[in-house]
Chains A and B, each alone.
Chain A
Amino acid sequence: MRRALGLLVIIIIFSPYALSFFHGQGLSFDISYNDINVFAFTLLQAFLSSLASLVLGFIAALGLIYSANRYPVFYKWILRPSCLLPNVVPVIMVILASLKVIDPFPFGFTGILLLHTLMNLGIVALSIQKIVSNKLSGLSEVSALFGASRAQFLFRGGLQTIFGDLAMVGLFVFAICYSSFAIPLVVGGSQFTTIEVLIFEQIRLEGDWAKASFLALLQAISIFVLCYFIPQKIEATKESFRRNQYLSSRIGIPIALIPALIIIIGLFGSFSMGMKQFLRLDLLRAELPGQILNSLVVAIGTGLFSFLLFNLIAFVFYRGTLKKIILSYAAPSTVICGFAFLIFGPQGEVSSLIRMILGISLISVPALIRLQFANTIYSLERQREVAVLLGASDAEVFKRIIFPQSFFSACFLSGIASFWAWGDFALSSIVADRSHTVALVIQALMTSYRLELAVLLLWLLLICGILTFALFSGIGYVYHKKLIS
């Protein structure tokens, strides 16, 4: 049965590739020298972007720990959602806001790195905060007793202890930047082509699905190979948020807040025009409640489906090859994934919403596993081994060890997936047949001059996103306490 479930996991997560190859009528292996250059550039910008996100994210994580201990309300309701904000706002909005606030903007390669870092710093900080709190608390207390400085603690043991975890977080950012599309084009200029742009060119300009599918496969294989060689340390850890001089820093707070502040300041100031546009559009006012409801359905559906996938993966995760495959897997590009799902079902609201839920979940979950879930499951590996030695069945191990202890993490990450679902229009615009969701309305408003109203609705979307994220995290927190008590 476990093998069957493992196979089911593989089928589910690989389904976008299978469907896309099926539609592309095979693969075209026609790769030019120029394509290789594009791969090299994509690798470089993704590597440097993830490195910058990791360094700044680490400092921001110390700020989060400081804030969680000193100002828990501020941490819970302001700082934590702020960290997620840049990841949920449509990329176009991030670009518009950043170009407004950062003036003069450093266009070119620096601009690409800057925007990628701004977008990913927050979520990286949240993830590192958990890693640091879970894995370094004990070590830091011992170091403090021996009188080590912060630098000594970090560079002579601390960072080494969490190197594997940091590498996984780095890979999460790397995968995002590796498939970056709009940022390199807008702020980099035409010479900075990424693989994602190349895939888009093949589809839109050439109609060459076979080559697009092959490029997407190469993209996935390169991430797969990288992930395969990243050391994955398995450490039994205990969660701790105790105050510690090494693991908290107030300097990290502004760093964690900067990306969100840039977006808020950059998009602020067009409320009156947005409202004016809103009042002129009677039909939109009538349709909006339904679109909010649809967005809610997609967000909750994505959260639930992601939660289910997380648990399904947790159940089969410890099997060697399967674990490597899941960890190394990267979802295909949004365009490929969107068209792959388009073949499902007829036109219509229900089919569109289901396609959105499936598509967004299958893109989000592999990334979120690398971001945090893998660490959570790793940390339970020794308990699992002991339980199996003592004769526990897989079901018992899962029910009594894995599920209770990974429940919060699964809920938290499902909350992030649901937050992303509110803001998704890249995949939704391909699989939907009408503007069913708020994000799609925002996209349509932007293509018809009404940028201010689009920004106004974006705020609504963010508030709703925060609420659903809080819902999943809240359920996770409450039941986690009950399950482990």
Chain B
Amino acid sequence: MVMEKQKTSTFAILFALLPISLGLLIYWTSESGSENSNADLTIISYGSFVSSWGPGPAVGKIFEKEYGVKLQWINAGDAGLIIERLRFQNANQSVDVVLGLDQLTIDGAREVLEWRNFSYPEILWHKRLPKDALQRDFVPFDWGPLAFVYKKGQLDPPKSLEELLSKKYQGTISLQDPRTSTPGLQFLYWILSEKGIDAGFSFLGNLSESIHSISTSWSTSYGLFKRGQAKLTFSYLTSPIYHMIEEESGDYRAAIFEDGHPYQVEYVGIPEKCKNCDLAEAFVNFLLRPEIQKIIMAKNYMLPVVDQIEQGTEFANIPKVRLIPFSAQSLTRDRRSLLERWKKLGL
């Protein structure tokens, strides 16, 4: 009987061993914070910025060398999840710099955290960067107009939103869902600010014939376009430059709309709870340097916020489009009801 009990205990101990040891390991790493305790500055951003081919590592390397410090990059995955990630950081995971929010998400970020105000240095901002892009607590580091992208020879490019309703674009457009994708939300706000709320939804209803699919993310909708299932996709005016440089293909073009284009501005911010705030501020200033702006432009395929950076590069050749100023604030306030109406469209 005693033997039996001993055997039971042995099994119990064996079974409990692994989860307990894993728990202990987590506790240990949590307590000691040993893995990255030597990092001087922690920066959180989205996946493609932090990846080895993105601007993050290249920019970080120069900063580390110049300031003699160590940076730690945190990949938040999807840009839309940065705010939620910040909400869930525990005490051992404090962040000094948040990089990658855009004009539609900074309001949400302000609700979650307090942000340091920024004193801008003397900068010759990009001539076409809209004036309202400058915020007191968030600094723009790149930007880009949004546009429909197509492949040369596959269709006649549309010249206006109205033209998208034409039968020749039936089943050709790949869009993103505004509930799950920031470019998708940009598209919805573009239509609603251009046409007004009711007329905008009516336009979207009429657009359904032209839509091939509505994807959860930019990458899926762009993938559908690249693989030839959709002929038009909502992306960036700078997207064709990627294909020109990386794939040596001049087939990709952006459709230029006479009425203008919406734009996305990407921001960097410093939370009030930063640990190394002075260094964080130095890093933000560093991002605005011409040579760093050039790296961000070349690796992120977005326009620089500082003037004259794109001269002598493919980026200088992108069409000069009219930008549509729209106040996202009123739309953001009504986002829930707008998205409910979007759902009811049944696109």
Q: Could you list which residues of chain A lie within 8 angstroms of chain B, going by C-beta atoms?
A: 1-2, 4-5, 8, 12, 23, 34, 92, 95-96, 99-100, 103, 107, 181-182, 185-187, 189-191, 193, 197, 200-201, 203-207, 273, 276-277, 280-281, 283-284, 286-287, 304-305, 308, 311-312, 315, 339, 342-351, 354-355, 357-358, 393-396, 398-399, 429-430, 432-435, 440-441, 443-451
Assess whether A185 is in contact with B11, with CB atoms less than 8 Å apart: no
Contacts A23-B88, A96-B223, A342-B85; is A190 near B51 (CB within 8 Å)?
no
For residue B342, which residues in chain A have a CB less than 8 angstroms away from its CB?
190
Beyond A5-B15, A354-B22, whether A449 also contacts B36 by CB under 8 A is no
**Does chain A have a CB within 8 A of B196?**
no
Q: Given A276-B247, A398-B11, is A351 in contact with B242 using a C-beta cutoff of 8 Å? A: no
Q: Can you name 26 A-B residue pairings with CB atoms under 8 Å?
A: A96-B220, A99-B224, A181-B216, A189-B347, A190-B177, A190-B214, A190-B347, A191-B347, A201-B179, A204-B80, A207-B83, A207-B108, A281-B52, A283-B52, A308-B19, A315-B11, A393-B8, A429-B47, A434-B73, A434-B74, A435-B47, A440-B47, A445-B51, A447-B48, A447-B217, A450-B246
Say whether, besides A281-B53, A350-B29, A394-B8, A12 and B81 are in contact (CB < 8 Å): no
Complex formed: what's the CA distance from A434 to B342 in Å? 34
Tell me, yes or no, whether B126 is within 8 Å of chain A by CB.
Answer: no
CB-CB nearest in chain A for B343: A190
- A349 to B25: give the CA distance in the assembly, Å: 13
Q: Is the CB of A342 within 8 A of B88?
A: yes
- Whether, in the assembled complex, B289 has its beta carbon less than 8 Å from a beta carbon of chain A, the answer is no
The yes or no answer to B166 lying at the interface (CB within 8 A) is: no
A426 to B161, CA, bound (A): 35
- With A396-B4, A434-B75 as known contacts, state yes or no: A96 contacts B227, CB within 8 Å: yes
Q: Mark B15-36, 1 if CB is under 8 A from A, else 0.
A: 1101100100110011001111
6 A-B pairs with the lowest CB-CB distances in the bound complex, closest first: A348-B35, A429-B77, A395-B7, A283-B52, A393-B4, A191-B346
| Interfacial chain B residues near A354, Cβ < 8 Å | 22, 25-26, 29
Give the bracket for the number of chain B residues in contact with chain A.
35 or more
B224 A346 Cβ-Cβ under 8 A = no
Q: Inside 8 A of B36's CB, which chain A residues have their CB?
A: 346-348
Give the distance in Å from the alpha carbon of A358 to the alpha carbon of B51 in the complex. Answer: 24
Interface residues of chain B, those whose CB is within 8 Å of chain A, are 4-5, 7-12, 15-16, 18-19, 22, 25-26, 29-30, 33-37, 42, 46-48, 50-54, 57, 72-75, 77-78, 80-81, 83-85, 87-90, 92-93, 108, 111-112, 177, 179-180, 213-220, 222-224, 226-229, 239, 242-243, 246-247, 301, 335-336, 339-340, 342-347
Assembly CA distance A432 to B75 (angstroms)? 7
Known: A191-B343, A207-B112, A346-B93. A95 touches B220 (CB 8 A): yes
Contacts between the two chains (Cβ within 8 Å), count: 238
- What 10 new A-B contacts, CB under 8 Å, besides A99-B213, A190-B345, A395-B10? A100-B229, A308-B19, A345-B29, A347-B93, A351-B30, A398-B11, A433-B75, A445-B51, A449-B301, A451-B223
Partner pick for B35 among A350, A358, A393, A396, CB 8 A cutoff: A350
CA A1 to CA B343, docked complex, whole Å: 53
Q: How far is the CA of A8 from the CA of B213 in the complex (A)?
A: 46
Known: A186-B220, A205-B335, A281-B53. A347 touches B72 (CB 8 A): yes
Expressed in whole angstroms, the minimum distance between the Cβ of A97 and any Cβ of chain B is 9
Question: In the bound complex, how far is the Cα of B229 from the Cα of A358, in angstroms?
Answer: 38
